[in-house]
Structure 1
Amino acid sequence: MTARRWAAALLLALSTLPLAQAGDTGLGPRAIWIWEGESYAMLEDDAAARTAIAFLKDKAIATAYVYADAYEGRNLIAAQPARYRTLIRRMHAAGLKVRALLGSGYLHTERYLLPGHRRAAQAMLQRVLDYNAAAAPDERFDGISLDIEPHILDAWSTRKMELLGDFLDMSDALMRQKNAVAPNLPMGPAIPFWYDGMSIEWKGKRKPMNEHVQDLYDTVALMDYRDHAAGADGIVSHARDELDYGAKTGKPVVIGVETMPNAIRKVSFHHLREGDMERELAETARAVGAAPSFGGFAIHHYGAYRRWLGID
């Protein structure tokens, strides 16, 4: 083959790469949380869905965590599943992966970890499992992302260990439920980076909370909310323990960053510019990108990210 023909063949091969690869930043895959209002808008408004898909592709985001529970008195995944089928089919056609996002400030799902609310947690998950079982392959969720955080509960200040134990009990029940019907569907929670500093005994084993969680789930999204990569209080340092343990267990860790405003400046990139965030993510990727457990980044969250960029 001549050099000219070889170059032409290479260009043809590159042009047929999947869209998600075409938008790769080289810094690992990216995901984004899309909460209640924005997700329901995408489900019910064709223009909102088109806008969101175009934005995600422009920002090289490969996976969207799309909310999949009740909102403002409606529960579309149960009552109108065709809306999810249409949206997920469109997102898949655009080269995106879609995970069901479960957990809601609107529903106060932090209570679901309490034993008295366990049935509500299981019903929430079952609706997604039932949806996937009834959907065509290109209409199914690619995974499940949970956001149920014990430290939001009022009792956290006085009952930390008990609530962490309840969270692990709930997690165990949910994973058993999921694995009984969909063992290949990855599921994992968002967890704060400081779980690695909390040792807890659960089922006869004492270890850091993050290790118990990583043992149970298929993956985790680490809420590594800092505005800088380096240093003892930076993104890299806070992710080390989880990445190291993920390498031992063979489970990925996605590093989450924040764009919402926060009174504590270091928690979010909101007070900085997009270029600043990209620089810090690049530095993080250089430091940990070779780790076998590095699963890329997740941005919190779609609406806040757009507003921060001055789009909305």
Structure 2
Amino acid sequence: MNINKYLLLSLVLLMGFGPLQTLSQPIKAHANAGVPTATWLWNTSTIAAQGNEILSFAGNNQVKQIYLQVNKDIPFNTYKTFIQKATEKGIEIHALDGSPQWVSSKGSAYSKEFFNWVGNYQKSASQTQRFTGIHLDIEPYLYSGWNSKFKNTVLAYQNIINHAAITSEQLGLTFGIDIPFWFDEIAYSNTYGKGNLANWAIKTTSFTTIMAYRDQAAGGNGIIELVRNEVQYASSLGKPIVIGVETGKSEEANLVSFYEEGAAHMYSQLSLVKSAYPQPDVTFAIHHLHSWMIMAP
């Protein structure tokens, strides 16, 4: 495995998480053969002025979960209004956060600040205004220590995830994380035992979202093959698994995203993936909400 290739790819994708443009596209329902059940919403400020449009699109496209990045500058009441409306549509909102810096020496402080915010918010909100899950996107391979202090960085990552799992349970929230499709090739041997990070992550969380960012279902570099091990791990552990795909423009390669091909092609490929993995606990997520909303038919 060429780790540097995956680091570059992940960095390019991470850099695409900037502010969303105005959501001015008409509300539409795609020919959703794959039935994605989750999506990421990175620009939390849009839930104030454009919350109704976001939720209309999500409802029309059978979204059941939105991973909503926590922005501490946004008032609690804005979240309450948005989550209340989402609840009425049967859409769960999961509190999203995390960065490569979470595996640094200061990582526990970032984690503590996030969970303190979530805990305080939950106390202030009614049942129908609360988050129903935690979702972390840490990407430790983008931290400098991944190359210079690999074993220590992997252990720091596992410590953060393990602590987050415990804290999420204490808050009564489901706990999910994003991992790249190649974590099944990353071995660890430390206080958590021996194995590969994909299996460990699936075992430790409520559910795991695999960043299987490819625009074809079949073939050796297609989605079906890339997630095969993760689907097997999840099945053996009795855990749900979510297959994530990309819709934003990527500078890395056309094969990364469905941006060039459009929605019809994406859904045809997701239908093939679903045929390969028909289990009800295998679902999909679209990265990310805004690029999906403005995606070509």
Query: Normalising by structure 2, what TM-score?
Result: 0.84
**1:146 and 2:144 matched:** no
Which of 199, 204, 221 pairs up with 2:187?
199
- 1:123 deviates by 1.6
Q: How many residues are treated as equivalent by the alignment?
A: 268
CA contact (8 A) 1:100 1:144 kept: yes
**1:111 and 2:101 matched:** yes
Is there any run of 5+ residues in structure 2 with no aligned partner, and where? 1-29
Partner of 2:259: 270
- 1:66 deviates by 1.3
**1:306 and 2:293 matched:** yes
**1:254 and 2:249 matched:** no
**CA distance in 1 between partners of 2:56 and 2:284 (Å):** 19
**1:178 and 2:165 matched:** no
Partner of 1:4: none
**CA distance in 2 between partners of 1:113 and 1:125 (Å):** 16
SS of equivalent residue, structure 1 residue 308: coil
- 1:176 deviates by 2.0
**Greater Rg over alpha carbons, structure:** 1
CA contact (8 A) 1:34 1:64 kept: yes
**1:58 and 2:82 matched:** no
Which structure carries more relative contact order (alpha carbon 8 Å, separation 6+)? 2
- 1:299 deviates by 0.5
SS of equivalent residue, structure 2 residue 40: strand
Partner of 1:121: 111
SS of equivalent residue, structure 1 residue 298: strand
CA contact (8 A) 2:246 2:257 kept: yes
Normalized per residue, which structure has more helix?
1
**CA distance in 1 between partners of 2:296 and 2:84 (Å):** 28
Partner of 1:12: none
**CA distance in 2 between partners of 1:94 and 1:180 (Å):** 27
Give the % identical residues.
25
Per the alignment, do residues 56 and 28 of structure 1 end up closer, same or farther by CA in structure 2, a change over 3 Å counting?
Answer: closer
SS of equivalent residue, structure 2 residue 225: helix
**1:81 and 2:76 matched:** yes
Query: Normalising by structure 1, what TM-score?
Result: 0.80
Per the alignment, do residues 253 and 202 of structure 1 end up closer, same or farther by CA in structure 2, a change over 3 Å counting?
Answer: farther
Is there any run of 5+ residues in structure 1 with no aligned partner, and where? 1-22, 104-108
Per the alignment, do residues 180 and 30 of structure 1 end up closer, same or farther by CA in structure 2, a change over 3 Å counting?
Answer: closer
CA contact (8 A) 1:259 1:299 kept: yes
**CA distance in 1 between partners of 2:111 and 2:92 (Å):** 24
